[in-house]
Amino acid sequence: MSAQRQLQVAAIQQTCSNDKNVSLATSEKRVRQAAADGAQLVVLQELHATLYFCQNEDTDTFDLAEPIPGPTSERLAGLARELGIVLVGSIFERRMNGVYHNTAVVFDTDGALAGLYRKMHIPDDPGFYEKFYFTPGDATFNDGRSGFTPIQTSVGKLGVLVCWDQWYPEAARLMALAGAEILIYPTAIGWDVTDEPAEQQRQLEAWVTVQRGHAVANNLPVIAPNRVGTEPHPEGVGGGIRFWGNSFICGPQGEFLARADDTEETILHATIDRDRSESIRRIWPYLRDRRIDAYGDIMQRVRD
């Protein structure tokens, strides 16, 4: 197999600060190290420039949002260009007054914006009040593209999704059907510190398992970086969220290629074999055997 069929990828697991410059400096340091160690594709976690601000609802928090292009996107673009890597970052996007998104941005090796993905599934749960802040991404664009459209880069077509999207097999499948070669899930997820250890373990295993399932069901590698560290509630309510890390990279049969722990900042490295998805689909042809003539009811909210 020729060397160019081997793609070196990295996922960054980090803590974050309430000072955007400190968080971005941490991200940049890790990205530089990943590139120095040979990574061609580097993926940052969800909302890596700030603390996870969705633990409460506060209109002043909208001041953190930025347009694209803007200061953070320009910094990430310059980093990708300088290092000659494809870089996936995350931005609290101000699209217009009153419309804000949780947006993943992808920069190619020349620093150009290869594309962006605006989070489609928005949670609204205790400690994760994202519907207050984020408008869901567009189901379709003006040119007819689906919101679940892979982003073409010099290292291949990236099926970029964000955090809560990772629980939905429909999102992964639509990316796969559109030609995605890798599924990518920048994430910010953790435990309520008051949960019992057994419940915490169930939640973690569910998170890992569902994403490995998307890898298996679509014969695609998955990159899932998550943050670490305990972030207190902005109003001092409860103990805040302890982000559980466990970032991982797995292959197209769900096999772990790299996995982090639940406490340490780290850079995960893995080699993705670009030909494995093709070879696996020849022996496990899920896409061939789909009964698309029988799936119409999936478009209903509930089958009565």
Which residues are identified as catalytic?
A: 46, 119, 163
Residues 182-221, buried b or exposed e (16+ Cβ, 10 A)? bbbbbbbbbbeeeeeeeebeebbeebbeebbebbbbbbbb
List the one residue out of 100, 114, 236, 117 whose CA is nearest residue 165. 117
Extract the runs of DSSP E, i.e. beta strands, from 108-155: 113-118, 124-125, 128-129, 151-153
Between CA 176 and CA 27, with CA 266 as vertex, the angle to 5 degrees is 80
DSSP 302: S
List the one residue out of 144, 54, 49, 52 whose CA is nearest residue 104. 49
C-alpha to C-alpha distances, 238 to 54, 57, 194, 241, 262, nearest whole angstrom: 15, 15, 8, 9, 21
Q: What is the bridge-based pairing of β-strands 156-160 and 151-153?
A: antiparallel
Between CA 90 and CA 24, with CA 6 as vertex, the angle to 5 degrees is 20
Q: What is the 3-state secondary structure (H, E, C) of 192-219?
A: ECCCCHHHHHHHHHHHHHHHHHHHHHHC
* Cβ count within 10 A of residue 111: 18
